[in-house]
Structure 1
Amino acid sequence: MGDKNTILKVRQRIDEIDDTFLKLLKERIECALEIGRLKNETNRAKWDPQREREIYQRLLTDNQGKFPEKALRSIFHEIITTCRLSQKKTEVSYLGPEATFTHLAGVKYFGQSAEYKSMESIDEVFNEVEKGRVQYGIVPVENSIEGAVFSTLDSFMKYSVKICGELQLPITHHLVCRSGNIEDIQTVASHAQPLAQCREWLKKNMPSVPTLPVFSTGGAAQMAANNPNIGAISSELAIKTYELQVVVRGIEDYQGNTTRFLIIGPQSPSRSGQDKTSLLLGVADRPGSLNEVLTVLSAKNINLAKLESRPIKGKQWKYLFFMDMLGHMEDPVIQEGCSILKQICPYYEWLGSYPRADNIDLLN
């Protein structure tokens, strides 16, 4: 009887704590709305990444490891994004249909409160943002195993948008179908990248079953839901969304498979203190021109994080270079280095400065 009374008292205390949580959450969202009104009066940006970073650092320090750190980050990420989005409803375009890895990355970045708009191609995601029909888009840019997503890089050459953020999403591929029986699968459908990332497993375990590249993992899951003889390589979210059965979990060929996604929008956020800056450059057609660019960065002690070339459409053997460097355009050393690059490069475009993914690793 004593144990039962003790449990009842503890549960009553938990209820009191939950009621306090709810009261404080309602108060917090009212404060967020007031900040939104004040920012509107002064035309200040709604998103302040440096302020959010300070909140996370303070909470983690005060926590002293008592509450699981990853869960604490996840909880406050949802609270912070919900309060920020309450100031203005955010619409996000992504490569659809529902339950693609890009959709999952969007939910992890913007939270459940944003409105998501499915697009049939990466090109359309860029177009929606440039036309102002949505505030943001989210696109995959590179995978740790298969490399760059060229359709994203090519879209930066066509559309006038800015990079606003990035996140890195660990990727786990599941083989799914309607019945859950591998014997029912006569074709395996998925996006070209997941098919490539699972090619050795498929060759070993389903050597006689043909593969079918489609425009997204969500589209493959839809096909599997509609056809009992189609298997799909899809995400955990797709399993729930399309009510599919798992045949085999985790069929990717290599552990540590991670995709980097970029958030695109009309303008980049202010400095957070742990940022990246991305450029699109064309170099002079003479020996040593790329080395000149790298020498500028070295002389300014600027850390280069990525360098990728892409052919210019319609100009045979002509290339542009995508470059990521550590730092923000508001940092004096980045400003100075980019000013020199602008002078020596025939083509120069600043794609944006934004918080680095390791600054928001709660999303992983």
Structure 2
Amino acid sequence: MTRIAFLGPRATFTEQALRSMPEAAGADLVPCTGSPAVLDAIRDGSADLGCVPIENSVEGAVPAVLDGLVVDPPLVIVREAVLAVRFALLVRPGTGIGDIRTVASHPHAIAQTRGWLADRLPGATVQTSASTSEAAAQVARGEFDAAVSAPLAAEQHGLQILADDIADNAGAVTRFALVSRPTPPPPPTGHDRTSIAATTENRPGALLGLLTELAVRGIDLTRIESRPIKDRHAEYWFHLDCTGHVAEPAMGEALAALYRRCDRVRFLGSYPRAGNGGSTAAPATSPLPIVGADAERFAAAQKWLDEVRSGGTA
């Protein structure tokens, strides 16, 4: 039976997103405390797949997940899901609004309800938990007075919904990634996303050169974010999401060009998109020529690309 780790405990938004994916049918779903623990479970073989939140439409990317995807051994994203998030204030039965002195939740949930909490609970201390459901469990254990969580967690932990739909921004969504050890990417669907991370030499125009390799091939860049390299001062991983699939010629050319140009490139997966669209512009048919490039670097880049397409650990 397939074992799939997810950000737990039970009744998190991550579990809801995971259950919408076909891989969850008939699988053993294993809750973990924190997204890093999910990624560790995949790497050590105690789970075949893992589901983690990777990006929120209000608060942006989840730093712990971005950082966890670029350490060794490599991992890749094989599917994503987008879930509309609805937050409720959960308390133990009998607790009134005036009784609340402490509130707990995941940092992204706190960020999305900060205005509501400041307006309705100005004197409460807000603290962070590993997940929204863990915050609900902590309230049930008496560690906090209230939790910002999914309404589903109230039934799971025997709590009462004191206030519902408390997000400051209506319509917020979170994107979740299903992660695996390196494996051949799912076949192209014509509606795909490719995720990569790259580091470049710190010199003028280095990042512009990286982005140009995508632009001249008509590839739509849908997200870029920098994260510090933990053991190198003032050096960064650039995380990029693009529309397209590694099996397609334009994307393959772009990735090979990045491999030649960058210090390091980490392929993080090509997989079907689950929302937030992208450009419908036709890909460029005539990429700019690269003059005077080292033949050995071209050969090395092609070898790396072939390994990526076949599910290797390049």
What TM-score comes out, normalization by structure 2 length?
Answer: 0.82
* Cα distance between partner residues in 2 of 1:298 and 1:228: 52
- Is structure 2 residue 38 aligned with structure 1 residue 125? yes
Residue 272 of structure 1 deviates from its aligned partner by 2.2
- Is structure 2 residue 195 aligned with structure 1 residue 271? no
Please, which moves more after superposition, 266-275 or 336-345? 266-275
* Cα distance between partner residues in 2 of 1:245 and 1:178: 6
> Is contact 2:151-2:161 (8 Å) kept?
no
What's the counterpart of residue 139 of structure 2? Answer: 224
What's the secondary structure of 2:20's corresponding residue?
helix
Per-residue CA distance 1:224-249 (angstroms, 9 max, x = gap): 22229611111122112112111000
% same residue: 36
- Is structure 2 residue 60 aligned with structure 1 residue 147? yes
What's the counterpart of residue 94 of structure 1? Answer: 6
What's the counterpart of residue 168 of structure 2? Answer: 253
Partner AA of 1:181 in structure 2: G
Aligned residues between the structures: 272
**For the structure 1 residues 229 and 158, does the alpha-carbon distance in structure 2 shift closer, same or farther, using more than 3 Å as the test?**
closer
What's the counterpart of residue 50 of structure 1? Answer: none
Per-residue CA distance 1:151-208 (angstroms, 9 max, x = gap): 0000012141111011111111100111163233221111111112111111111111
* Cα distance between partner residues in 2 of 1:205 and 1:135: 43
What's the counterpart of residue 108 of structure 1? Answer: 20
* Cα distance between partner residues in 2 of 1:274 and 1:317: 36
Partner AA of 1:174 in structure 2: A
> Is contact 1:144-1:259 (8 Å) kept?
yes
**For the structure 1 residues 249 and 309, does the alpha-carbon distance in structure 2 shift closer, same or farther, using more than 3 Å as the test?**
same
**Higher alpha-carbon Rg:** 1
**For the structure 1 residues 136 and 356, does the alpha-carbon distance in structure 2 shift closer, same or farther, using more than 3 Å as the test?**
same
- Is structure 2 residue 51 aligned with structure 1 residue 134? no
> Is contact 2:104-2:144 (8 Å) kept?
no
1:33-112 correspondence runs (5 A): 89-110=1-22, 111=24
* Cα distance between partner residues in 1 of 2:107 and 2:242: 29
Residue 141 of structure 1 deviates from its aligned partner by 1.1
What's the counterpart of residue 351 of structure 1? Answer: 268
* Cα distance between partner residues in 1 of 2:263 and 2:276: 33
Correspondent of 2:77 among 153, 160, 163: 163
Correspondent of 1:209 among 119, 124, 143: 124
Partner AA of 2:107 in structure 1: A
- Is structure 2 residue 251 aligned with structure 1 residue 334? yes
What's the secondary structure of 1:262's corresponding residue?
strand
What's the counterpart of residue 309 of structure 1? Answer: 226
What's the secondary structure of 1:189's corresponding residue?
strand
- Is structure 2 residue 202 aligned with structure 1 residue 285? yes
What's the secondary structure of 2:119's corresponding residue?
helix
What's the counterpart of residue 189 of structure 1? Answer: 104
Give 5+ residue unaligned stretches, structure 2: 278-314
* Cα distance between partner residues in 2 of 1:134 and 1:229: 32
Structure with the higher helix share, 1 or 2? 1
* Cα distance between partner residues in 2 of 1:131 and 1:304: 33
Per-residue CA distance 1:27-80 (angstroms, 9 max, x = gap): xxxxxxxxxxxxxxxxxxxxxxxxxxxxxxxxxxxxxxxxxxxxxxxxxxxxxx
* Cα distance between partner residues in 1 of 2:132 and 2:14: 9
What's the counterpart of residue 235 of structure 1? Answer: 150
Give 5+ residue unaligned stretches, structure 1: 1-88
Residue 116 of structure 1 deviates from its aligned partner by 1.1
